[in-house]
Every structure is written in C-alpha cells, then in structure tokens.
Structure 1
Amino acid sequence: MTFVIAGSCVSDYSCVEVCPADSIHPTPDEPDFMAAEQLYIDPRTCVDCAACVEACPVGAVSDAKDVAPRLAARLQLVNAEYYEYTSRRG
C-alpha cells in the first residue's frame, strides 16, 4: 500500500467517492460510518491511483513515501488493522 490516511481525517467521504477500487471504508452506507474516528484504506485493494489525495479536504491522505518512515509504518498498520478487525467481525 502506498497511500495512508492519518488521524486528521474528518470522515467527509470525499475520498470514498473518487476511489476507483472501492478501497476506502467505512462508506456512508456501512453501519460503522457514523462511529468511525476516521476512514481507512484497504492495503489489499488500493491501486495507488492517488485520487484520494487530491479529494481529501484536510490533507489527511498521504503517499507513505512522503511521510517519515516510522510514522508511515504506524499509519499503514492502523489502516490494515481496521480491515483485519472488520473481517473478523464478519
């Protein structure tokens, strides 16, 4: 995964609307959307198109290579853990 969403995300879902791979969740039609602290990029389905970077109104989406290595690793883990958690909930 090249792109990560940071904690500054305001969950306005602009990035969800432009993602061609449907890699950003939760979406407004999913039950977790209203309770989500932020949105997350699925590392397995992201196609690295960067559409989400331009769409984000608060600059919360970044290319991992443009973020400090330790922070990028942490953000990648946070984004990936969301999908592990939701897949186990079933």
Structure 2
Amino acid sequence: MTYVVTDACVKCKYTDCVDVCPVDCFHEGPNFLVIDPDECIDCTLCVAECPVEAIYAEDDVPEEMQSYIALNAELAKEWPTIVEKKDPLADHEQWAGVVGKIHLVER
C-alpha cells in the first residue's frame, strides 16, 4: 500500500510532509504535490504532518477522490522530487477548504 496526495493539497501545496519523508518520494508541480507510489515505503509520517489532511493511505482514499491515485502515479514520473520544506502558495488560505479541485491541477 502507498499513500496518495488528494484534493486538499491543490492550490495550497503545504510541504510539511516533505520534511519528514525518509525516502524523498514527494514530487512538486506548480500548485500540487504528489507521492511516487514506487518510492513510498508506507511509513505514515507524512499523514500527520499535512495541515489540511490531504494525504490518505491508498485503501482509504475517499470514493470521490479515487482519480488521485492514478494522478499521483502519473505526475510523479513527470515532476521533480522535492526534499525540503517551502512556504505554501500565497493564496493557500483561500483554497484550503475548497473541495473538488482536481480540474485546477496545473501540469
């Protein structure tokens, strides 16, 4: 089982999770982070660090967010690895509580 970054991360991009990842499995896009399922070791450390609860175990991803499983796998192959914490996006507070943001993922 791997972990998956979902909807709450889109347009927020908190990187607290990156700081605790022992295997550097996070990848960074313009307005979203993803987890490489081939690199994730299921340590669960990132889950508690996410301030917007965007990270789920693959088996626990809510029904309406299942498409994020494939999206994480796809974009992890395209985006660069991120290994250090950065500031969230400038307007993160505005987007933190918004749901249904998959169409806003910038590639």
Provide the TM-score with structure 2 as the length reference.
Answer: 0.64
SS at match of 2:8: coil
| 1:36-55 aligned within 5 A | 36-55=30-49
Q: What is the CA-CA distance between 1:7 and the residue it aligns to?
A: 2.0
1:85 paired residue among 72, 78, 81: 78
Once the two structures are aligned, what percentage of the paired residues are identical?
37
More helix by share: 1
Moved over 6 A (4+): none
Q: What is the CA-CA distance between 1:64 and the residue it aligns to?
A: 1.5
Report 1 or 2 for greater relative contact order, CA contacts < 8 Å, sequence distance ≥ 6. Answer: 2
- Structure 1 residue runs of 5 or longer lacking an equivalent are 27-31
- Structure 2 residue runs of 5 or longer lacking an equivalent are 81-107
2:14 paired residue among 12, 15, 18: 12
Q: Which amino acid aligns with 2:57?
A: D
How large is the RMSD of aligned CA atoms in angstroms?
1.9
Contact (CA 8 Å) 1:16, 1:25: kept in 2 or not?
no
